[in-house]
Structure 1
Amino acid sequence: MGDLEQGIQLATENETGTGHVGRWSEGFHDPWVPKHRTAEKAKVVSSKTKPTRPDESVEVSGIWPSSFSKEYCCIYRVPNRLRRVNPEAYTPQMLLLGPLQHSKKAKALELSKNDLRYLDYMNMELHKKKYLNAIANKYGEKIVDDLSSIIKTNEKFIRESYAESTEWIKSQEFVEMILLDSVFILAFFIQTATTRKINKKEEILVHEEDILFQKPCFITTILEDLILLENQLPYVLLEELSELFILNLKIRETFRDIILRAFRLEGEVKEGMNFRHFTDLFRRIRVETLCLTKEQMRSVEAKSIKSLHNADKLDSAGVDFAHLDKKNELSLVITFERGILKIPCFLADDNTERVMRNLMALEQCHYPLTAYVCNYIAFLDFLIDTDQDVDLLVKKGVIKNWLGHQASVAEMVNKLCLGLVDFGSHYYEIAERLNQHYESRLNRSIATLRRVYFKDLWTGTATVAAVVILVLTLIGTVASVLQVVQK
């Protein structure tokens, strides 16, 4: 069994999605398609290849495949019911990767006149070719030939990784596209996550004056684009190709270690945890915190939460809120014990909606019955209705608001669940216990007493003093009555 075959098999063993355990086997070879060759063709990535016409791309891209591969499919077009709520959350800012974005490249020149984002797309395509040229010139044609050979051998299964037909992209064009995208990702991560010098004898990978590394905002933007669901390449392919890079660059780290450091996820990933692509990586890190076995994921029949009171009302019934697991803000663990609801800290910043929407879109398409990230956001949606709810949760440390006004957080969370299909919630039992706690008159009475008469030290002291005076007055009155009666 080859490395690529083992990789895809391991990726499917961690958690069952819509597919089953699949295997990467040997790809087919089309004798009519010439083998891709390198440094020379890398300058334009084959100038002989007939470019796809913009109108042709629009017509044929987006068509469903004639046969759907449950074993390998893991990269999806975001459903329109989700996209229409916030299209920008699923749209790359600079970097286009993979066949789902391929048609945009053909229309980039025309649309760049009205949308500067398409100008960035064009610049990044030229930058990909620059990276491939640099690799070919520095390490020879063989490394590019070897990379192309791996892609060509597994072309059939790379295509089947997408839930959309790629038949409109010819074989040679497809291999060249994947080659350019893969080389860029590998070179980018190696330069981002390693030191400026690979080792004492080696020069840096591409060029000392690479514009991407002169402007930090470019690096941040590219890392954000690499998380988008439609912007993915199969991770097992990248890992297989990375071995050639690591061998030639004499790097002692694995590609896995490099990407985890680039994404600032060191220490967050458990040993042996596998993932299908970068979007899946960010989801699995969160799901792993639940510590569920395969049997638990498959056997639990989750029920949908029909109603749950917001944070302000729960607080009025005596529910206290606390930040769970301060060391891990990616956790999905929620507990409710002894009147205390413990929730992981939710960081609300400029990139939160983009990340969460893509993780939730992946779950809706691939993990509908184990959509734990969707369940977590839906639970927050129940808790947050108004600014007062956000303000309460911020004070309790459950939310970190980096957006400014509390209303911005409430609006973002409330919109995140629009368009989701609900297959049940992992937090159903917790929601039921919270509702029961709220319905108890005793709990609400105690909470009111605590909130009105013991809300702070001074109010509590005054309340106690008043009770003492009242008791002493009552005792004095009773004593006086007894004396009169005795006389």
Structure 2
Amino acid sequence: EDAHGFSLDSTHTSLLLPALNFEHSGLWILQGWAPSQPQKPKGYPGMWQFPKDPDKCCIYRVNANLRRVNAEAYTPQLVIIGPLHHHLKSQALRSLGDITNTKSMGYVNLEEHKKIYLAKFAGRVVDGSEIIDGFRRTIEKHEERIRESYSESTTWIESSEFVEMILHDSVFILEFLLTRYSKIYGKKTGDPLIDEPGLTVTIDSDLMLLENQLPYFILHNLFHPIFPRLVPNMTFRESIIKNFGYRNTIGDDSKFSHFTDLARCVRVESLQSLDQRRYKMLEHVFNADKLHSGGVKFEALEEEFSLEVRFENGCLKMPRLVIYDSSEMELRNIMALEQCHYPYTAHVSSYVDFLDYLIDTDKDVDLLVEKGIIRNAIG
């Protein structure tokens, strides 16, 4: 009997001792107990995926060689869309309070903004909550196909989390467009993404990044049926084309897989009437100043997004290239898409290579600017 009035006879001891084993460490542990093995994760961010149908894969991570030149050109600055940068959200949350980490602060703010936009959209129509539930069911129905759109495995994102991510990201894109269209010039909306031009431009740029895409088919399935109720006399597709400044530059029957692909499509369409088999690969081209000194004339064509270059009667005719703040980012992402998805028809990359041949010195730039082939619209 111990000091507390409890006693252990041999019977009780025999019941307890087989279940307990005293280790030299001084710890009592249950016999047969072993530390639980951590469950193997279903995957990690960045793991390659081998899809059942490779033709459905259209959204890629930019390879290291391209990223090394200018990583920021491929990285979202404010809004994260889709799964390829989804892991950055948790990293951003860990840096809360660090006001020097402006990019992480932006990510966190935009995740909250997505929730605001979801509620705002639900309030646009009487049956908003039912429509949101319908969106969720549509995403669940197409979840496998959405996942197959990415070159990397997304199995590390649980199904419910994946569906909510696609829902919030999709509605964010739609509500951003709707709020932008309804803005009255000179009047503040109370939405910093709309009221502050710098943020608006950043969102537009982020929505064009190859790694920051949603497959267009799911946006179309979600929003095409309801869009006439929100914006009369305009389709969802037309609103997207208008938002990126591509009006009257793409055919009604032209298909694109996502917004980066749209940017490529409006440029490549100018080549559809040409017989590619008639042309040979260029082995060498002199720079613009040497060509001009040799008697070659230069003429700018007005089609801004065209890639068609013609040499006729001693005159090199090229489409006008307008350089905006976002031009480098946009072209780099289109070229990255071509390397992954269109390696045998990399027409935008070929056009940029041709420009690289022409431009070696400041004299070349000055000449092309003088002839109207390059126009600086930065700032």
| Band the TM-score falls in, shorter-chain normalisation | 0.7 to 0.9
The change in CA–CA distance for 1:68 and 1:389 in structure 2 (over 3 A counts) is: farther
- Write the distance in 1 (CA, Å) between the matches of 2:52 and 2:338: 18
Q: Please state if 1:349 is matched with 2:335.
A: no
Per-residue deviation, 1:196: 5.5
- Write the distance in 1 (CA, Å) between the matches of 2:92 and 2:184: 33
- Write the distance in 1 (CA, Å) between the matches of 2:372 and 2:117: 45
- Write the distance in 1 (CA, Å) between the matches of 2:231 and 2:359: 51
| Residue of 361, 367, 376 corresponding to 1:392 | 367
What pairs up with 1:275-354 in 2 under 5 angstroms?
A: 275-292=256-273, 296=275, 300=277, 304-324=281-301, 326=302, 328-354=303-329
**Residue 258 of structure 1 aligns with which residue?**
239
Q: Name the aligned partner's letter for residue 129 of structure 1.
A: K
- Write the distance in 2 (CA, Å) between the matches of 1:372 and 1:238: 27
**Residue 109 of structure 1 aligns with which residue?**
93
Tell me, yes or no, if the aligned pair for 2:228 and 2:234 is still in contact at 8 Å: no
- Write the distance in 1 (CA, Å) between the matches of 2:252 and 2:223: 20
Deviations 1:315-344 (A, max 9, x none): 1111111102x1x21110100011100111
Aligned length: 333
Per-residue deviation, 1:208: 4.6
What pairs up with 1:87-486 in 2 under 5 angstroms?
A: 87-111=71-95, 113=98, 114-137=100-123, 139-194=127-182, 208-243=189-224, 245-246=226-227, 248-249=229-230, 251-292=232-273, 296=275, 300=277, 304-324=281-301, 326=302, 328-402=303-377
Tell me, yes or no, if the aligned pair for 1:65 and 1:165 is still in contact at 8 Å: yes
Tell me, yes or no, if the aligned pair for 2:62 and 2:336 is still in contact at 8 Å: yes
Q: Please state if 1:84 is matched with 2:86.
A: no
**Residue 48 of structure 2 aligns with which residue?**
64
Q: Name the aligned partner's letter for residue 81 of structure 1.
A: N
Q: Name the aligned partner's letter for residue 133 of structure 1.
A: A
Q: Name the aligned partner's letter for residue 197 of structure 2.
A: P
Structure 2 residue runs of 5 or longer lacking an equivalent are 1-40
Q: TM-score, normalized by length of structure 2?
A: 0.82
- Write the distance in 2 (CA, Å) between the matches of 1:90 and 1:307: 30
- Write the distance in 2 (CA, Å) between the matches of 1:135 and 1:252: 19
Tell me, yes or no, if the aligned pair for 1:190 and 1:258 is still in contact at 8 Å: no
Q: Name the aligned partner's letter for residue 232 of structure 2.
A: I
Tell me, yes or no, if the aligned pair for 1:193 and 1:262 is still in contact at 8 Å: no
- 1:369 is paired with a residue of what secondary structure? coil
Q: Name the aligned partner's letter for residue 106 of structure 2.
A: D
Tell me, yes or no, if the aligned pair for 2:305 and 2:319 is still in contact at 8 Å: yes
Per-residue deviation, 1:119: 0.5
Per-residue deviation, 1:159: 0.3
The change in CA–CA distance for 1:302 and 1:99 in structure 2 (over 3 A counts) is: farther
Per-residue deviation, 1:244: 5.0
Per-residue deviation, 1:68: 5.5
Tell me, yes or no, if the aligned pair for 1:72 and 1:161 is still in contact at 8 Å: yes
- 1:289 is paired with a residue of what secondary structure? helix
- Write the distance in 1 (CA, Å) between the matches of 2:296 and 2:199: 44
**Residue 73 of structure 1 aligns with which residue?**
57
Q: TM-score, normalized by length of structure 1?
A: 0.65
Tell me, yes or no, if the aligned pair for 1:193 and 1:258 is still in contact at 8 Å: no
Tell me, yes or no, if the aligned pair for 2:338 and 2:349 is still in contact at 8 Å: yes
Alpha carbon RMSD of aligned pairs, Å? 2.3
Structure 1 residue runs of 5 or longer lacking an equivalent are 1-55, 198-206, 405-487
- 2:157 is paired with a residue of what secondary structure? coil
